[in-house]
Structure 1
Amino acid sequence: MASLIALAAVGKSFTGADGTPRRILDGVNFNLREGEIVALLGKSGSGKSTLLRIIAGLVPLDAGSATYNGNPIAGPAAGVAMVFQSFALFPWLTVQQNVELGLEAQGVAPKERERRADAMLELIGLSGFGGALPRELSGGMRQRVGIARALVINPDVLLMDEAFSALDVLTGETLRNDILELWDGKQIPTRGIVVVSHNIEEAVMMADRIIILSSDPGRIVSEVAIDLPRPRTGDGARVRALIDEVYGLMTMRKVPAVTTALPDYALPDTDVSRIEAVLELVAQPPFGGRADLPHLAEETELSDEELFPTLEALTMLGLAQVADADITLTALGVQYAGADQAARQDLFGRQVLANIPLVARIRAALVASDSGALSEYPFIELLEEGMEDDRARRTLQIAVEWGRYGELYEYDFRGKRLTLPEVDGADLH
């Protein structure tokens, strides 16, 4: 089967505010073959959207090669179209004018532009809305306009970057099914689709292959082939088994490097209330301490982007173990779920201090200081040595919240200072 898109050893870095390059993608090899839909999955920092923009010709690569139909990708290609999460419509243009933009850029004559845009709007379910402005439409209808704008140029390759994530569940599912119906019914000439998603079930329902990327930097770590006819039933046994398999692959812990310049100060982006809510849910019936991750996702109504960091936090803190798409509370996790508030905070503080290097470093620095108080800025600078500025600040925010909840230190928001508690738990040193 011919390759529409071929990436070989692709690497990409961005320069942080301090001038240090941050590696986003490293050694990525990827092929989109004619006649297939490929979904890209990965946690935050995996470079999924950057990879999609390299394919679209919107972002240049730093290393390796990228080709479309055998030709180097050096900028936007006429045969590649992209649908964005944010709709990206021009609010002062009508629906018709937004859809015609790509055709106008290609130099298509006005009458032909109008004819093709009308036909696409009818195909995508927006017949009669050509004269409306984007603000007059619902979110689902605005995304239909974005999809019509991408498809009207008859692209070989359609790229979809979180195209359904800004919509409610029912609208997103309806729109996804409509796209699949057009694709499987060969009502559009598109020969390949790449979908970036945070939703595992969405990826399994759509894709012929799922590519899973690791984070910091993004590398392809797993690939799952899906040989099931569409439309697929979400509660079918084979579909549920595939969802379980992908959950298992997504929750595998990254093996740390043998040598590193800094300890691993990265923290999962979740808060204490969410950690405790998920732990309590797993501890209660019908789970009773062990839960299937897809079932847990349904019960919590958390997105995969919210659930995965929470699961990672639970495992880092020694309160749960995640394996084979299941989460199981440890004996400590069961104890935590049954404890009163004071006991929970004491246990949380001990586990954070024992298992979270950044929190331990902050605590030790405070204990060693003469005043028991320190500015947050040295810790931000420390984190910026290994991560982007925004992420460094968010990581410190998480460490502050976790440490405060565990009563390891306090934080003055006005002065941006960390201090030891007035009543110090000396046994936590």
Structure 2
Amino acid sequence: MKTLIIGGGIAGSTLAYALRRYGHEALVAEARPSHRDTGGAFLYLAPNGVNALRALGLGDVPAVAGGFEASGMDFYNARGRRIAELDGSDDLEHYGARGVVLRRARLHAELADRAQAAGATFHFNSRLVELRTHSDSAEAVFEGGLALTADAVIGADGIWSTVRRLIWPDAPTPSYNGIVDCGSWTEVDLPDTTGQQMYFGHRAFFGYTVKDKTAYWFTNLPRRDEPARGELDNLDQDAWMASIRRLHENDPASIPTILQAARHSLGAWPLYDMPVLDTWHTDRVCLIGDAAHAVSPSTGQGASLAIEDAAVLAHWLQQNRTPRAMFEGFATDRKPRAERIVRFGRQIGARKITSGAGNLFRDLTLSMFLRMGGKATAEQYGYRVPDQPANDR
């Protein structure tokens, strides 16, 4: 089967590799000029994401892309008192893998390189403008006139998916949640951390991990009004970093230490909630990754779910069935899991909002909330990509 993937990010590149591994033709249309021109700072690949890569024969990718293991989280209030923890010391024993911190661009580049080496065809500078479906095929038209025809089209083009907008024009759109995320990595004189250090600061949430004198840090900045599209693309870094330092100036010492050393942020990204979609597919078109179920960064599951989606969909696309039948099986396998994690992410994100009474309640209840969420975390981390689709097991 010939499959056209719209979007060559983490989900799209992983799917292209998996399809080639199983002998299918894979075309990838990417709006950017290169798979190395992707932006982003860093991400956490959870144990389930690591295991999904292994299931595809890509188990060496995290190490090749420069990742390092970091299990567990410690949570602190604005005064620096530890109020909760997620112990990750037994992740390897329980889940067969530890989580890995990776620079997003390096992970993406490695996956795209593997897909191209496996024989997937990438079309760059290809921005989708029209998508037509027929009884026996689908045709995608791009700016500049390029037209590609395939048996199936996969929308792996992110939270602002053009595929979703063209095929489901009445589908709900992402809603801004009042937070702008930004971050980078910075050389610092701080000891290594075994896991992620999370601080509910006086005026903003801050997280970091330190490895070999490099701090991988992010902050969630409250902003009531939604930034215009593209408004945060070209920041005055001196002014931007000065504003971040002011927000965190009274927070525990490690945070100002990191921010004083930081010369820039690698970007700033408004965070959005993606409402649940009634369906992810039609007869010839299917959504995966953030196009189908964008999750809050608070879950640490965005990249992991995208890789899982790609692995599971590739399994389904091996079946000698109609695209609709395979898409239905894929959605049955994936939709409940993704939507549970989306809901869990909203609950976590809501606890980052700073307010006087809310902060006291959070400090008193966060540990209990995390214990109650332990089952959800185990379900997330313990997931394994099936060897074959559900109705063949």
TM band (smaller chain) = under 0.3
Which has more radius of gyration?
A: 1
Say which structure is richer in helix: 1
Q: Which has the higher contact order (CA 8 A, sep 6+)?
A: 2
TM-score, normalised via structure 2 length: 0.22
